[in-house]
Amino acid sequence: MENSTPTSNLPVNAPAAAAPAPAATDPAPVLVIPRTVFNYVVIAIVFFVLGAVVSAAGSNALFNANSAENERLVREAVAQAIQARGDTAAAGSTDPDPNQRYDVSYDGDPFLGAADAQVVIVEFSDFNCGFCGRYARETLQPLVDAYGDRVRFVYRDYPFLAATSLDAALAAQCAHEQDNFWGYHNALFSNQGQFSRETFLNIAQNLKLDMGAFTSCLDSQKYRDEIVEDALAAQELGVRGTPAFFVNGRFISGAQPYRVFAQAIDAELAALAEAGSS
């Protein structure tokens, strides 16, 4: 699917070179929870339960953000998975090593920038994550504007914060099918805390998507397997919270300020230029 930099409603509030570091009172940039919750069994069972909900109660039940029954099923599935696995994960496990390069795949995922860019930033994100929303609103577009085709900005799903995280990820992938992932991405982050089936359909309508195709895609959970693969990839890499970034395989944790990403990108571009001249 062809990707290009769309018209964005993200605010551009940082200069092309660097933005000032946040005040010392800024909140911690990343939500960290024990890796026990992020294991294969948990994710597999949670998505299995969500699929069962669709079969038993119909598509409307899955996308009703106020469905206490759905939330109960998800919580029970997670608890049962943790109990079955046992608390064998190391409680003191850490995030990926920022000094190590990791092999992070990104083929087929939505992106901004050039497909052949030498620097690739892969983001693992959850549409319910407040810090992810801050990065999307304050940092992403200034980086795109500053680096253009020199960087490929890739989005991958890690929907773990709520049942509606999966719903939102499914809806965004259905918009991606119609070449409007980033418009939908921006709208989701502007509507955090209001996710419901009606919200997802209204966003699609406002973006003038083909509503028949979008609704069919959403109700069938067409991209559920792809979203699960993203979540499993994040766990394999050791990601414990969102947003999480890999700049040419090097890890950056959380919604860091513009200058942190700019420094990482500049270092990669400089290394590539030196290697090319030697």
* Predicted local distance difference test score (pLDDT) of residue 5: 39
Q: Is the pLDDT of residue 18 over 50?
A: no
The burial class, CB within 10 Å (0-12 / 13-18 / 19+), for 115 is: exposed
Question: 79-101 pLDDT, tens per residue?
Answer: 444 344 333 333 335 789 999 99
Reference 216, options 201, 226, 228; nearest CA is 201
> What mean pLDDT is reported for the chain?
78
What percent of the chain clears pLDDT 90, i.e. is strictly above it? 63
Q: Is residue 27 scored above 60 in pLDDT?
A: no
Q: What gap in Å lies between CA 123 and CA 166, rounded to an integer?
A: 16
pLDDT for the residue 94: 73
pLDDT at 268 > cutoff 90? yes
For the chain, which domains are there?
A: 92-277 (3.40.30.10)
Strand order in the sheet with 250-253: 111-113, 151-157, 119-125, 244-247, 250-253
Please give the pLDDT value at position 275: 87
The region of weakest confidence among 10-24, 59-73, 121-135, 264-278 is 10-24
The pLDDT, as a whole number, for residue 166 is: 96
Q: pLDDT tens for residues 164-218? A: 999 999 999 999 999 999 999 999 999 999 999 999 999 999 999 999 999 999 9
Query: Does 222 have pLDDT greater than 80?
Result: yes
Q: Please, which pLDDT band fits residue 47 given cuts at 50, 70 and 90?
A: low
List pLDDT tens digits, range 125-173.
999 999 999 999 999 999 999 999 999 999 999 999 999 999 999 999 9
Rounded Cα distance between 254 and 30, Å, is: 4
Provide the pLDDT for residue 43.
52
What's the pLDDT band for 117 if we cut at 50, 70, 90? very high
| Cα→Cα distances 162→6, 82, 93, 97, 168, Å | 28, 17, 23, 27, 10
Tell me the average pLDDT across 104-130.
96
